[in-house]
Amino acid sequence: MRGPSPAPMPMVHPRAFAAPLSRARPAHLRTAKVQRSRRAGAAPRRIGLLVTLAMATSWSVGKSFTSALVGTAIDDGLIEGPDQLAADFPPAWRESDKAAITLRHLMTLRTALRLVDATEFHGASDQLQAPLDLELTGTPGERLYDYSNSDVMLAGEVVRVAVGMSGQAYLDQRIGATIGFAGEWWTDSAGNVMTYCCIDATPRNFARFGLLFARGGEWQGDVVVSAGWVATSTAPALAGNYGFYWWPIGNGGFSAFGLHSQIVAIWPVEDLVATRFSRYTRVGDGRAVRASENYHGTQEPTGFDNGRFLELVYDGLSDA
């Protein structure tokens, strides 16, 4: 049985970061939320500002959701662990030179698959078949590039096959139902969930996901993601490296980042989560399907620096 329904998120304290964030705020800052919680199941205490209920889109922040779903599938015994062969799931790889690729390789940029241009990949009608068909350019285990969307799409396929449902359904059932997260994950025109990006939700919902990781995978006493997976998946970021789809930010923290400065930053020791999202327009016919004229309308923020924003957030703790 799942745990109790999540408590409502309390209102924002108006004081804590108002001055520094207002000075740093660019024209395209849609929302900045700073939230701090207390341990032992107490209700979270916000110390931020500029909260909006408007819809946002994740861009590559969605990668960290896929990382969490890999962890829950391992927790549920549906995946053996990060060193299981990815070919146990996409059958087409089993008799190929890609059979040695592990899930860990997919999550740490070590597949040695040919790197696909991000724009080309995002516009493909079938964004799963494209990476499944990629050829090797090296030996699995080699790190030949610093970032890949197609590797994450393949990790999402591992989850889909392992759990027997789409990434959207598994997110809703395994995480969303407990923490109160509600979001819509885009699909390509072939119906594949775009697990490397593209979840539409409110900043408040994204903050819930951040709080789950700030609390070591627990929500009101219910273990949603095991502490072991939280530790494993965030260890590279905490050591200063990108890995398992989390980024380093210093001061004992890690973050999910997306195009145009979408941010879910987490400092577990401080029980602190900060989110920032751009103005967003779902362009096209209204469906969350990357087809025809449908796309994500966000803009590059003017004069905004991710590092400076996070520095102001963290430094503001002394004023809280």
Tens digit of each residue's pLDDT (9 = 90 or more) over 266-295: 999 999 999 999 999 999 999 999 998 999
Report the number of distinct structural domains present in the chain.
Answer: 1
Give residue 170's domain range: 18-319
**Contact (CB, 8 A) for 179 and 208:** yes
Cα–Cα nearest to 159, from 137, 182, 128? 128
- Note whether residue 8 is domain-resident: no
In a domain? residue 116: yes
Instruction: Say if 3 falls within a structural domain.
Output: no
Residue 2 domain flag: no
Structural domain contains residue 295: yes
pLDDT of residue 23 exceeding 70: no
- Pick the most confident of 86-90, 94-98, 265-269: 265-269
Asked if residue 241 has pLDDT above 80, the reply is yes
pTM: 0.87
Separation of alpha carbons 86 and 79, rounded Å = 10
In a domain, 10, yes or no: no
Q: Token digits for 137?
A: 């350019």
Residue 46 β-bridge partners: 35
43-65 residue pLDDT tens: 444 444 455 568 999 999 999 99
DSSP character string of 99-119: TT-BHHHHHTT-S-BPPPPHH
Beta strand 218-219 pairing with 222-223: antiparallel
DSSP state of 92: G
pLDDT at 234 over 90: yes
Residue (of 200, 190, 202, 183) closest to 153 by Cα position: 190
Residue 106 lies inside a defined structural domain of this protein: yes
Question: What CATH number is given to the structural domain containing 245?
Answer: 3.40.710.10
List helix spans (H) across the chain: 18-24, 62-75, 103-107, 118-122, 129-132, 150-163, 167-171, 177-179, 203-214, 227-238, 306-315
- Entry field: residues in the chain: 320
Within-domain flag for 29: yes
Give the torsion sign (CA, 64, 65, 70, 76): positive
- Give the DSSP H/E element, type plus range, for residue 318: none
